[in-house]
Structure 1
Amino acid sequence: MARLLSLFSGCGGMDLGFEGGFNCLKKSVNQSIHADWIKENKGNFVELEKTMFELVFANDINPYAKLVWDKFFNKKEIYHLGSVVDLVKTEKFGLDIFPRNIDIVTGGFPCQDFSVAGKRLGFNSHKSHLGALRQSESEENRGLLYTWMKEVISITEPKVFIAENVKGLVNLSNAKDIIQEDFKSATKDGYIVLARVLNAADYGVPQNRQRVIFIGFKKSALTRNALQELRKEDILEFYDPYPQKTHTQAPVTCEDAFIDLLEPELSQDLAQRSYSCAKFMNNRSQGQSEINLKGLAPTIRAEHHGNIEFRRLDKINGGKNEPGLKQRRLSVRECARLQTFPDNYEFVLSGKVSASQAYRLIGNAVPPLLAYNLAKNLEKKWTLYFGDEK
């Protein structure tokens, strides 16, 4: 097993994908390429095989994320609630916070400051590392939290790391290049750091979701051949750490994702019964349209209330909904399905985590199936890269 340390873990999308062993739509697995991924067929769904990665440390600042994460993973002792800034400072003060012998570090560092949907302040965020408005210029800011991920990499020296952020980062001045260069110097001997934009839809996720994925390899850990190959501008597919696309010809649709789901009033699933009751606003603002069942969902955002797209919108409002079914927005469970979370992932916890909070957690997450594709590709090539056994 390879030991995994997770940062900015949120509700666990990346964590779940890297550990595997969860249920997903059968259509989301291209069996002509990855039939060996399937442990068990379950009608319209399949259970995926576990991976070689074992999660030994997780961290986030959001208490609602921890509640949901704890409920699913049942590993409360390894989830550290708090800012990574404070954890690193405590470690440097002389206390052991981060486990050693780490093989891989993952983290989707905060993206609000790079998103085209936000103010695009980038490295000059007006928010602190704690999420509130900065009180002084000396306070650590949210736009530079990737540097604290770099600090954790410096402390733990993993063989490989994966960092995720919104595609908008690529188009924000030279932000991508700065981050890529910073990560390269995380340790004395350095990392080879690659960056590529992936669309989750190409990997069986029923959603148009583009993200930049940084993958860093510790130079001194690589085999000689891998070191030479990963330094090239055009890496051979045999060594490519980015997974092969599986669904470019036949993407998974919203209709596929919602199969077997009961209407909210008929469901026993609290996440399916929960949805935003915000009224339709007759304007062109975000969330005032009906999803296309025959196509991909738009990017599921970390939004709530009136910014959640409609599952059904009445014809009078420009939708396709026929009389007899209720006009409503996407439920929490439907958003989770579009992100490829399994149905046994409980997002709405009575008296603890509301639908509004659940929407935010889901929208902030890495789709587990995208993470699984990354994990399985690394697993397949692990010995090629590092020359040791799984």
Structure 2
Amino acid sequence: MNAVELFVGAGGLGMAVSQAGFKPQLVVDWDRWACDTIRQNQKAGLAPFTTWPLVESDVRQVNFSEIGGSIDIVTGGPPCQPFSMGGLHRAYLDERDMFPQAIRAVRELQPRAFVFENVKGLTRASFSNYLEYVRLQLRHPDFIAKPKETWHDHLARLEDYETKGKFLGLQYNIVMRVLNAANYGVPQKRERILIVGFRADTGVEWHFPNHTHSHDALLWSQWRSEEYWDLHKVAKRHRADDVKGKARALKLQEQPETLPWMTVRDAIADLPDPELQPLLAKAVLDHRFQPGARSYPGHTGSPLDEPAKTLKAGVHGVPGGENMLRRADGSVRYFTIRESARLQTFPDEMVFHGSWSETMRQLGNAVPTRLAHVVVQKVHDSLIGNA
């Protein structure tokens, strides 16, 4: 089945699309550094990048009519700065809002399905009307705005059309939900909104995948069975002093059926500490100590024995102050590129192009591949009737 991947970035969602069994016919991004990352991995022969027809271009300049054959899925993460907590929250007033281009791709390619992801900030009350506007445009992509029509007026006409219930032309059935990546085996508490649509004539019935991991299961393994500490060979004197976690674990009546949340320790325990073991760290790809980390109110780093806090697309301040590890003794250091890649469930063989700050921007903007794969795989299986 054929795919088009927009706003691919470092490839978190794109890798999931390929892993699920789709064949990319176009992979596009405007950012030179992200495209260089993909090209570098293509030269290294790393799958699935080797098969990607990458185009470095502004999506607004892409002519979708040049793509041959039918498209089964369109995916992508439209730039999220207009909606992120670290941005200026301008949404539809922000020229970086690329949802209009995602909608254009759906209208012109008419895929059987689409998957778009974005930051949780898109669901804030201040953006609720615009999120509904995006949803209705994706549901009725042929119902376009008139010349000089404001988005508010277009939304009103879309609402009239939706309530009338008599639809002509292209139509999609849509579900959307905020998912926490930690609930699907990602060692990071990262919430993203996923918007999934199926063309109405497919007849697909679909819901988001059930959680496979949970906080309660982690607490059970830490404070009831103690399997977590035994697995990592952590002596009692070095275990986290989690009073609330212990109390919650003691209230559990039985062991949860889900798997435990994955923690920072689960993700990076086999890597040498780049600050304390620099010579060993040099042998690991993209695993170099970055000085300058500091803790301050609201930015205290990620504890070792919990999923990481959300990685941010920056270095310090609001967009980036949590890209740090907090050790048991309270000291902090920045996550290395390799550690950050593991927290985003990128493969160890993958290399990243650019400086540390530039690479952290790529990683901080990405969707975890494992989370994306769970969703996209179910979409793929539904399209071939195996869900």
TM-score normalised by the chain length of structure 1: 0.72
Residue 314 (structure 1) shift: 9.1
Q: What does 1:94-173 align with in structure 2 at a 5 Å threshold?
A: 96-125=65-94, 141-143=95-97, 145-171=98-124, 172-173=127-128
In structure 2, relative to structure 1, the CA distance for the partners of 1:77 and 1:54 (3 Å cut) is closer
In structure 2, relative to structure 1, the CA distance for the partners of 1:385 and 1:173 (3 Å cut) is same
The CA RMSD over aligned residues, in Å, is 2.2
8 Å contact from structure 2 (residues 78, 116) kept in 1: yes
8 Å contact from structure 2 (residues 25, 67) kept in 1: no
Between the two proteins, what is the percent identity of the paired residues? Answer: 30
- Give the aligned partner of residue 85 of structure 1: 60
Q: Distance in 2 between matches of 1:277 and 1:361?
A: 20
Residue 340 (structure 1) shift: 0.6
- Extract unaligned runs of 5+ from structure 1: 21-50, 126-140, 227-238, 322-326
Q: Distance in 2 between matches of 1:290 and 1:211?
A: 20
Deviations 1:50-91 (A, max 9, x none): x32122211111111111112334448711111101114xx5
* Residue 335, structure 1, aligned to residue 324, structure 2: no
Q: What does 1:255-294 align with in structure 2 at a 5 Å threshold?
A: 255-264=265-274, 265=278, 266-267=280-281, 268-273=283-288, 275-280=289-294, 283-284=296-297, 286=299, 289-294=300-305
In structure 2, relative to structure 1, the CA distance for the partners of 1:340 and 1:330 (3 Å cut) is same
Residue 313 (structure 1) shift: 5.8
Q: Distance in 1 between matches of 2:104 and 2:192?
A: 23
Q: Distance in 1 between matches of 2:268 and 2:7?
A: 29
- Give the aligned residue type for 2:56: L
Q: Distance in 2 between matches of 1:257 and 1:362?
A: 16
Whichever of the two has the greater Rg, that structure is 2
Q: Distance in 2 between matches of 1:74 and 1:213?
A: 23
Helix, strand or coil at the partner of 1:272: coil
- Give the aligned residue type for 1:382: L
Residue 184 (structure 1) shift: 1.1
Q: Greater CA deviation, 204-213 or 262-271?
A: 262-271
Deviations 1:174-218 (A, max 9, x none): 222111011112242211122111111110001111111111111
- Give the aligned partner of residue 191 of structure 2: 210
8 Å contact from structure 2 (residues 303, 328) kept in 1: no
In structure 2, relative to structure 1, the CA distance for the partners of 1:337 and 1:164 (3 Å cut) is same
Q: Distance in 2 between matches of 1:121 and 1:198?
A: 23
8 Å contact from structure 1 (residues 241, 377) kept in 2: no
8 Å contact from structure 2 (residues 304, 328) kept in 1: no
Helix, strand or coil at the partner of 1:345: coil
Q: Distance in 2 between matches of 1:194 and 1:71?
A: 36
In structure 2, relative to structure 1, the CA distance for the partners of 1:86 and 1:331 (3 Å cut) is same
* Residue 344, structure 1, aligned to residue 349, structure 2: yes
Q: Pick from 198, 203, 209: which aligns with 2:179?
A: 198
Q: Which runs of 4+ in 1 moved over 4 A?
A: 312-315
Deviations 1:125-164 (A, max 9, x none): 1xxxxxxxxxxxxxxx212x11111111111110000111
- Give the aligned residue type for 2:32: P
Helix, strand or coil at the partner of 2:128: coil
8 Å contact from structure 1 (residues 13, 371) kept in 2: yes
- Give the aligned residue type for 2:137: D
8 Å contact from structure 1 (residues 104, 161) kept in 2: yes
Q: Distance in 2 between matches of 1:202 and 1:312?
A: 22
- Give the aligned partner of residue 233 of structure 2: none
Q: Distance in 1 between matches of 2:32 and 2:68?
A: 22
8 Å contact from structure 1 (residues 70, 76) kept in 2: no
Q: Distance in 2 between matches of 1:7 and 1:277?
A: 35
8 Å contact from structure 2 (residues 304, 327) kept in 1: no
Residue 361 (structure 1) shift: 0.6
TM-score normalised by the chain length of structure 2: 0.72
